[in-house]
Amino acid sequence: MNRAWALLTAPFRWWRASLALRVVTLAVAGSALVVAAVSGFLLYRVSENITERAQEASRATASQALAQIEQSLTGVDQAMAAGKLYDVAQQAIQRGTVGGYYVSFTTDAGSFSTAGLAVDASFSAELRDAVATSATLVHFQPTRIWFDDQDVPGYAVGTTVTVGPNSFRVFFAFPLERENQTLRDVRTALIVASGFLVVGVGLVAFGVTRMTLRPIRVARRAAERLAAGELTERMPVRGTDDLARLAVSMNHMANQLQSRIHDLEQLSRVQQRFVSDVSHELRTPLTTVRMAADVLYDGRDAFEPIAARSAVLLRREVDRFEALLADLLEISRFDAGAAVLSLDEADLVPLIRAEIRALAQVAKASGSQVHFHPAEQAVVAEVDVRRIARLVRNLLSNAIAHGEGRPIDVTLAADDEITAFAVRDHGVGFTAEESKQLFNRFWRADPARARHIGGTGLGLAISQEDVRLHQGWLHAWGRPGQGAQFRVTLPRRPDVVVTRSPLPLVPPDAPREALAAPGPEEET
């Protein structure tokens, strides 16, 4: 079925994919319609002209033959009429044979006609009755002339000739064989000429289209190479026409793009170096501040209440600053391409349980309960344990921070090649616009919200990079007021390519309309 459908839709796909095919097809179709219309008009006019001339010639020949017959019989008495009539009839038949038409005489004594002419079939009863009832008129009628058991189109002329007391009916049959042959020749010539003309138009359209599209194809290939990072790619400039100006514009755009990208790369390197240098330079004074803060914190019981509170605040802010510094160092390693995996086989079930226990007090302080739904069997995968533990911790911290004190569900599932876990909260959720910025560095959904957890604003960005290092997926789903779910899909072995996930992106407890339409999501 799929193969048959592919065969049926192949012409449509070719038509959509090829501009040259569309131009040539439309040119050929348009020229064919014009040629057909002109040829039909010419053939109609030629046929009409030949028909009119054949009618005039038939009438003139019939009138001339009748005049000769009447002249031959003038003055013949009744005693000699029969013999003279025979001679006149034979002479008329002979002249008709030489002139290319047929003659038939009908009298009371008998009838004479051109040999091989079927009189009854060639001259209709309607014509014979009209001649019999209107003796003084010449009657003209299109007919089919039967001669030697073959019928051809033609004209029949009939009248009554009266000489003295004698009267007899004369019929002439004028075949149109030569006229029809002329029409066939004209028709053949028009068809052949039309065919050559249409083919010629098609070839010309193909040549013009090919000549016109060649620079466009060159521009397309140049644009593709530029998009692939080959910033030195340029189009050749030939001539001064519009296509040459297109090449000049493309080359100018490429120069500007190369310059801008070079500037951005320089700026990015400066920023990365700045972050890296600052992060490293801050570690030494931070260590000193950490030691002083620890000393003050340990001796806070001997201080006055204000000083003791200051020692606690100093210790907490140093912890946050230290976490921020560690995240900045990690981000700088990602930017520099220095981040590598240290793979080990690990069971994800105890790893996730350990992170849930580590954040249990924080979750309890926020009013949230974390429920873990592990797989039925052990889920062993080759992963960087440190990075996966940090990934779980970041997602759990994010869920606790935005969960509004509601329950949080962590689900783990796996098949033979792929494993996935999802962190589902029932808090504020996010909108479609916010979903586009979820993994941006230092972005917060609501800057006015108080920080109950010492987050740095880099957790989701680092999580995204950790998942990418594992060649996995990080998807996020959310609805305002209905919470959010972050799903991580990882290969169980490095040689496995992730093409599916054992867990759905939309949580099963989402509203029915959300199940039908997943809503805003972010994929990485």
Residue range 63-88, pLDDT digits in tens: 888 888 777 776 655 555 556 777 77
Q: Is 344 helix (H, G, I), strand (E, B) or coil?
A: strand
Q: Where are the domains of the chain?
A: 17-233, 246-339, 341-523
Amino acid at 273: R
| CATH number among 3.60.21.10, 3.30.300.30, 3.30.450.20, 3.40.50.720, domain 17-233 | 3.30.450.20
How many CB atoms are located within 10 Å of the residue 191 CB?
A: 13
Instruction: Give which of 115, 108, 101 is closest to 143, Cα–Cα.
Output: 101
Residue 419: what pLDDT? 93
Strands (E) across 107-165 are located at 111-113, 139-147, 150-163
Q: How many CA atoms lie within 13 A of 86 on its CB side?
A: 5
Q: What is the DSSP string of 422-447?
A: EEEE-SS---HHHHTTTTSTT--S-T
How many CB atoms are located within 10 Å of the residue 179 CB?
A: 18
Q: The domain 341-523: what is its CATH number?
A: 3.30.565.10
pLDDT digits (tens, 9 = 90+) for 209-219: 887 777 777 77
Q: 3-state DSSP: the chain helix, strand, coil percent, rounded to 5?
A: 60, 15, 25
Query: Would you give the DSSP letter of residue 117?
Result: B
Which residues have C-beta within 8 Å of that of residue 403, sequence separation ≥ 6? 366, 368, 425, 426, 427, 483
Q: What are phi and psi of 522, to 5 degrees?
A: -125, 130
Q: What are phi and psi of 261, to 5 degrees?
A: -65, -40
Strands (E) across 349-417 are located at 370-373, 380-383, 408-414
HEC assignment per residue over 13-68: HHHHHCHHHHHHHHHHHHHHHHHHHHHHHHHHHHHHHHHHHHHHHHHHHHHHHHHH
Query: Would you give the DSSP letter of residue 300?
Result: G
CA atoms of 197 and 33, how far apart (whole Å): 12
pLDDT digits (tens, 9 = 90+) for 19-60: 777 888 888 888 889 988 988 898 888 888 888 888 888 888
Residue 421: what pLDDT? 92
Sheet containing 111-113: which strands, arranged edge to edge?
A: 111-113, 102-106, 166-175, 150-163, 139-147
Residue 513: what pLDDT? 57
Residue 351: what pLDDT? 92
Residue 216: what pLDDT? 77
CA atoms of 82 and 293, how far apart (whole Å): 154
User: Structure tokens of 414?
Assistant: 């796996």
Handedness of CA 185, 188, 192, 195 (dihedral sign): positive
Query: Angle at Cα 230 formed by Cα 227 and Cα 233, nearest 5°?
Result: 100
CA atoms of 429 and 29, how far apart (whole Å): 58
User: Structure tokens of 402?
Assistant: 């935005």
Sheet containing 473-479: which strands, arranged edge to edge?
A: 370-373, 408-414, 418-425, 483-491, 473-479, 521-523
**Positions in the chain short of pLDDT 70:** 1-3, 5-7, 10, 74-83, 108-110, 135-136, 163-166, 268, 271-272, 274-280, 335-338, 443-456, 512-524
Instruction: Give which of 189, 246, 199, 245 is closest to 220, Cα–Cα.
Output: 246
Instruction: Give which of 211, 246, 243, 244 is closest to 23, Cα–Cα.
Output: 211
How many CB atoms are located within 10 Å of the residue 121 CB?
A: 14
Instruction: Give which of 46, 52, 59, 56 is closest to 181, Cα–Cα.
Output: 46
Q: Match 């044979």 to its residue by tokens.
A: 97
Handedness of CA 251, 253, 258, 262 (dihedral sign): positive
CA atoms of 462 and 457, how far apart (whole Å): 10
CA atoms of 40 and 37, how far apart (whole Å): 5
Domain 246-339 has CATH 3.40.50.300: no
Residue 166: what pLDDT? 66
Query: Would you give the DSSP letter of residue 415?
Result: -
Query: Would you give the DSSP letter of residue 342?
Result: -
Q: Is 260 helix (H, G, I), strand (E, B) or coil?
A: helix
290 near 318, Cβ under 8 Å? yes
| β-strand partners of 485 | 424, 477
pLDDT digits (tens, 9 = 90+) for 164-177: 666 778 888 888 88
Q: How many CA atoms lie within 13 A of 297 on its CB side?
A: 14
Kindly report whether the global pTM for this prediction surpasses the value 0.85.
no
